[in-house]
Amino acid sequence: MRATIPGPKMDIRRELGISLFGEKTQEEAELPKIKKACEKCQHPELVYTTRQTRSADEGQTTYYTCPNCGHRFTEG
């Protein structure tokens, strides 16, 4: 069994912006899509991400981005 303890290497990677999860940026990654119209341009499909921005006993916040016009808005 082999274990790695985060140390100075992890700090250097973070400072340089190197990700351990691959080379794709969030824009290049395949994000989940939903059939919901954009509030600004009415494009019929949006990409979304969710985050827990409040305490654990409250719901997640959903962030929508239109791939057509780039409009961003939240729900939740």
pTM of the model: 0.56
Distance CA 7, CA 35 (A): 43
Region 29-55: what's the mean pLDDT? 89
pLDDT of residue 57: 79
pLDDT of residue 32: 92
The overall average pLDDT reported for the chain is 78
- Given a cut of 70, is residue 24 above it in pLDDT? no
Q: What order of strands is seen across the sheet that includes strand 33-34?
A: 33-34, 46-51, 61-65, 72-75
Distance CA 49, CA 34 (A): 11
- CATH number belonging to domain 25-75: 2.20.25.10
Binding positions for Zn(2+) are: 38, 41, 66, 69
- Given a cut of 80, is residue 14 above it in pLDDT? no
Distance CA 20, CA 11 (A): 12
Binding positions are: 38, 41, 66, 69
pLDDT of residue 42: 96
